[in-house]
A and B are shown apart, each in its own frame.
Chain A
Amino acid sequence: MIEPSDTEQTPATTKLPATPGQTIGPFFEYALPYAKDGELVSQARPGALRLHGTVYDGQGDPIPDALLEIWQADEDGTIVQGTGSLRRDGYTFTGWGRESVDNVGCYAFTTVNPGGTAPGSAPFIAVVVFTRGLLNKLHTRIYLPEDTEALAKDPVLAALPEDRRNTLIATREANGDLRWDVRLQGDRETVFLSFPGA
């Protein structure tokens, strides 16, 4: 059994040197996207929402050849371990999705609000960003904006200055959709994360 646990985390003791990453390059578009890749749930499902935004470079111009992946718990905070992400049947929620941006740098997933995965924790969606010109993957998080008490206690957010911390918190739109942009560089550069053992 695999048992990740909050209380007894093994420090990463990496013994083998990790294989280096490389850029996704310009030609992934015919290879990695697939039918309904960004639809974690059907738009018709109650609670379905659009998570969307734009990916920008250091001059504030949209990046037209980026790929985003999200990985999240369901609305109850359950981490799903079901297969079927690559064959969307419209019913099975697997928690994982992939979206390549369009010609003006915009992406849009159809998903649900993730629940908190521990009591009192701030719900967030894990994100990985790839783009031509970016030599290695970047990890980040999208937090839901509502539970301000949980956000204030979140260890990652609490360690960040106010202006940087906001780059990780999505904006809730009037219709319930979530808006979250990625800025690879510049004044409002998104906070990207590194993890132990990486």
Chain B
Amino acid sequence: MPDETFDDSHVVVSSDAAADTQASLSAEIQAIHRSYRDAVAAGAAEETQPRIDFAPYRSSILRHPTKDLHHADPETIELWSPAFGQRDVHELESDLTIQHNGEPLGERMKVRGRVLDGDGRPVCGQLVEIWQANSAGRYIHKRDQHPAPIDPNFTGVGRCITGADGSYEFTTIKPGPYPWKNHYNAWRPAHIHFSLFGTDFTQRMITQMYFPGDPLFALDPIYQSITDQKARDLLVARYDHDITTHEWATGYNWDIVLSGSNRTWMEDEDGE
């Protein structure tokens, strides 16, 4: 199994947690969600990000700050992002199906979308990185011990630079779900990891894209660490038959919205 708990010796809670059933884990998740919905009904603000303190994801217990984040106004360097370009990323790196001599196994698919900031401005010329399991749910990572086959024709790593309209596109293989050690019989819904930069370093983010209708959604403490259903839905790609290509690959659409830019934008850049 993928060793989500890694070197267990120092994660005491995880070894106990391994005995938890899915039913008890799901009950924990539901209790947190219920109190969130009650709070919203009583006037609390809706949450848009995952909780970093979310005990059903056992590895989070010792790895989240317990003090409030300190509010800061971004200054100088934080209002800029590193620049990436064609020098950094080859065009072919966005096709994960051509990195070896043969065709990888599984469902060939494209995922296409746009990277936008909170005001809807396209984030152009920026780096997008992805990594994922193969169609059997296995990563090339040396710590992945899940006894599913490695595909010699699939590494599962891609990069691209966004276009002028913030667009990105990857050709890949639909990843499989995989087991992990959070609790007994724990399975992650199929996902692709995405790493993103904005125009401001404060917008830097890493997330996961999921597939519509996954039966594992309700059971997964990582996905459910986002307590708000509307926010969770934003991580699910949409099947798009216009992206699907004839006799070649299925197509998905997924747009990514970064947090708001804190730069002062000139008039002519706004309102695109």
Q: Give chain A's interface residues, CB within 8 Å of chain B.
A: 1-6, 8-10, 12-32, 57-59, 61-65, 69, 71-73, 79-87, 94-96, 114, 117-118, 121, 124-126, 128, 130-139, 155-156, 159-160, 164, 184-185, 189-198
Cα distance A31–B264 when bound, in Å?
Answer: 34
A27 touches B141 (CB 8 A): yes
| CB of B73 within 8 Å of the partner chain | yes
Cα distance A132–B208 when bound, in Å?
Answer: 13
21 A–B pairs (Cβ distance < 8 Å), ordered by A: A1-B266, A3-B263, A8-B264, A10-B265, A12-B260, A17-B234, A19-B256, A19-B258, A20-B207, A23-B57, A30-B155, A57-B10, A71-B77, A79-B80, A84-B88, A85-B83, A117-B77, A138-B52, A139-B202, A190-B65, A192-B70
Q: Closest CB-CB distance, A153 to chain B, in whole Å?
A: 13
Q: Which residue of A lies closest to B85 (CB)?
A: A83
A18 touches B118 (CB 8 A): yes
B residues 44-89 touching A (CB-CB < 8 Å): 48-52, 54, 57, 59-67, 69-89
Q: Closest CB-CB distance, A18 to chain B, in whole Å?
A: 5
B63 touches A131 (CB 8 A): yes
* Nearest 6 A/B pairs, CB to CB: A197-B260, A31-B131, A133-B59, A96-B82, A133-B63, A117-B76
A133 touches B62 (CB 8 A): yes
Cα distance A17–B231 when bound, in Å?
Answer: 8
Q: How many A-B residue pairs have CB under 8 A?
A: 300
A18-B258, A86-B84, A134-B63 given; 12 more Cβ-contact pairs under 8 Å = A2-B269, A4-B79, A12-B262, A16-B257, A18-B49, A61-B10, A79-B76, A121-B76, A137-B204, A155-B72, A194-B70, A196-B262
Q: Which residue of B lies closest to A69 (CB)?
A: B204
Cα distance A18–B225 when bound, in Å?
Answer: 16
Name the prevailing secondary structure of the A interface residues: loop
Q: Which of B52, B64, B66, B120 is close to A16, meaning CB atoms less than 8 Å apart?
A: B120
Once A2-B269, A31-B129, A86-B88 are accepted as A-B contacts, the answer to whether A197 and B157 lie under 8 Å apart by CB is no
| CB of B153 within 8 Å of the partner chain | no
Chain B interface bracket (under 10, 10 to 19, 20 to 34, 35 or more): 35 or more
Cα distance A18–B228 when bound, in Å?
Answer: 13
Q: Which of A21, A95, A185 is close to B66, meaning CB atoms less than 8 Å apart?
A: A185
Q: Which of B3, B155, B232, B263 is close to A2, meaning CB atoms less than 8 Å apart?
A: B263
| CB of B2 within 8 Å of the partner chain | yes
A135 touches B120 (CB 8 A): no
- Which residues from A are CB-within-8-Å of B234? 17, 19-20
Q: Which of B48, B77, B118, B206 is close to A15, meaning CB atoms less than 8 Å apart?
A: B118
A14 touches B141 (CB 8 A): no
Q: Closest CB-CB distance, B224 to chain A, in whole Å?
A: 11
- Which residues from B are CB-within-8-Å of A138? 52, 65, 69
- Which residues from B are CB-within-8-Å of A121? 75-76
Once A18-B48, A194-B69 are accepted as A-B contacts, the answer to whether A27 and B139 lie under 8 Å apart by CB is yes
